[in-house]
Amino acid sequence: MLTIFERLKQIAREIDKAIKNEDLGYSSKQNATGDEQLKLDIASDFIIEHILRDVALVKSIISEEKEDIMEVNPDGKYTICYDPLDGSSIVDVNLSVGSIFGIYETGNLSGDGLRAAAYVVYGPRLELVIAVRGKHPRHYRSGARGLFSSRAPIVLKEKGKLNAPGGTQQYWSPTHRSLVESLFSEGYRLRYSGGMVPDLHQILLKGGGLFSYPGTQDRPYGKLRMLFEALPFALIFEAAGGQALDEEGNRLLDLCPTKIHETTPCFFGSNYEIERFKKVYGL
């Protein structure tokens, strides 16, 4: 697994370079979910595929930007599911974006089979967070010559101050609206950039809060994809001492997608806000 983590650092540096130097415009293609692909979505996917191909432990890869699973090493042990560039819609306005990785046991693509998760933040500084089950997530920041140095592990407090509500407000359910309003009326502040990586990173580093992406009238199953967005962050939130649930109150890590691009409503937070979510939703 350590070899994989080392390769994630290489991936982070290469994608960071591409974001800083390459064309930020759209390609003429769409991905499996029907999103217009940026040239950078495709370039980031290519970088990850080529680096992971060289890692014997990796049997197969599943990308947000690929229709199907791709086998890379027949004798490998893990399937890595990834979102090469999260936040494609905010690249053009120069906000922080990210990459997300879920490392699954091959043959067990579910919350239960998820062995480790990681994300990269391409912000003013390059950062990497890696989590394995049962240990506080490790946090790295890149400095001189692109070297990553280790920072304090990530530990959530019981209660935070930030509220990050996703989705189109016009299509929220009355229940969801009252959850969001109940936190604001208690002094929570809005923090939402439109990129789940920087938005969740902010909640993790500031000690807590709630990030929600509910099922809405226009997207009843939410927007965020299980294998390479929701489940990896669920592992990271639980490892940091928080919780990650779906709209029925199930742990996201108890879910098992039936299709590789399946989405789920999701709620990530510190304990106080998740208890509030359960109460308002009647769970």
Which residue number, 76 or 263, has a Cβ lying nearer to ligand AHG? 263
Shortest distance, position 19 Cβ to Mn ion, whole Å:
13
Residues 49-78 interacting with Mn ion (rule: CB under 5 A): 64
Task: Map residues 47-86 to x or -, x wherever contact with ligand AHG holds by CB under 6 A.
Answer: -----------------x------------------x--x
Task: Tell me the residue number closest to ligand AHG, measured at CB.
Answer: 196
Distance CA 228, CA 182 (A): 30
Contact flag: residue 45 with Mn ion (CB under 5 A)? no
Contact flag: residue 87 with ligand AHG (CB under 6 A)? yes
Residues 127-186 interacting with ligand AHG (rule: CB under 6 A): 166-167
DSSP assignments along 15-65, one per residue: HHHHHHHS--SEEEEE-TTSPEEEHHHHHHHHHHHHHHHT-TTEEEEEETT
**Which entry of ligand AHG, Mn ion, none binds 113, CB below 5 to 8 A by partner kind?**
none
- How far separated are the first and last CA of the chain, in Å rounded? 37
Which residue number, 149 or 170, has a Cβ lying nearer to ligand AHG? 170
Which residue number, 23 or 158, has a Cβ lying nearer to ligand AHG? 23
Contact residue for ligand AHG among 118, 128, 154, 196 (CB under 6 A): 196
Residues 211-230 interacting with ligand AHG (rule: CB under 6 A): 223
**Which entry of ligand AHG, Mn ion, none binds 166, CB below 5 to 8 A by partner kind?**
ligand AHG
Contact flag: residue 238 with Mn ion (CB under 5 A)? no
Binding site for Mn ion (CB under 5 A): 64, 83, 85-86
Interface residues toward ligand AHG, by CB under 6 A: 35, 64, 83, 86-89, 166-167, 194-196, 223
